[in-house]
Amino acid sequence: MDELNAYKAGLGVAPDSDKSPDNVTTPEQDAQTSFSNSSENIATQTDSNTPGPDNKTDAKEQSKHSSEDASKADISNAEAEQNANAETSSENETDKDFEKAPAEVKLDNSRSIHELMISDIDGKEIAFKEYKNRVVMLVNVASECGYTPQYRGLHVLHEKYRNRGFTVIGVPCNQFGGQEPGREAEIKAFCLVNYNVMFPLTSKIEVNGPRQHPLYDVLTGADAEYPGDISWNFEKFLIGKDGKVIKRYAPAVEPTSSEVIRDVEKALGQ
């Protein structure tokens, strides 16, 4: 081998010992190396596209948020529809006709408003027995309602028949749409300035619910002539000379309608 190397050296060829076997690759080795590098690149790309634990968590969170957003949207739509239906229902209630209690329901005919007391708009206690032998129309009123202009008709009705034994009594209540928010002094001034109201007004009371005034328990209780909660502002009750309910009118019924005039005339003639 030394002689061969010496011979190669004489020819200017590098001896075999200068070529490291580690630095020399065969075509097969080059192909294998290329394939290995390609595999590593593919694996790297695959790993970057495959959801790991963090990626899976992000995907779940996005899915969760999407579901929550969809649920909230459904709830909002349902609430809007429910509110619209409730509002429509309230409007329809103001036009309904009231019916007497069924004949099979035993009524407590001894109940009369003449047995009750109530505070007037100035805080003075008044007894309904003062209205014996008078026909009375009781109305739950409010200053900021669409029916508030009915004050004008109520005033006309009161003035037309008061000398014949008829009285309108307004009962302020804030239970419907918060449309009677003022204090008693403010309510009194509003009615006088805007509608020249001269008929009696009571203090502000509740007509439905656990704090219902006894007056409205007599008017709307289970054993009343026309039972059922008050639906809105300006429901009207025509009370006879004996202190008992003759008829109940929906809020939409105008105080000077032919129906009301006819009923008042009839009650006064009895």
Residues 6+ apart with CB under 8 A from 254: 150, 153, 260
Do 111 and 223 meet the contact criterion of CB atoms below 8 Å apart?
A: yes
Q: What three-state secondary structure class fits 42?
A: helix
Exactly one of 116, 145, 261, 268 is catalytic; which is it? 145
Active site annotation includes 145? yes
DSSP state of 115: G
Which residue in the block uniquely carries the two structure tokens 């008042």? Answer: 264
Do 187 and 201 meet the contact criterion of CB atoms below 8 Å apart?
A: yes
Dmax of the chain from CA atoms? 154
CA separation for the pair 241, 270 (Å, rounded) = 8
Q: Which residues are catalytic?
A: 145
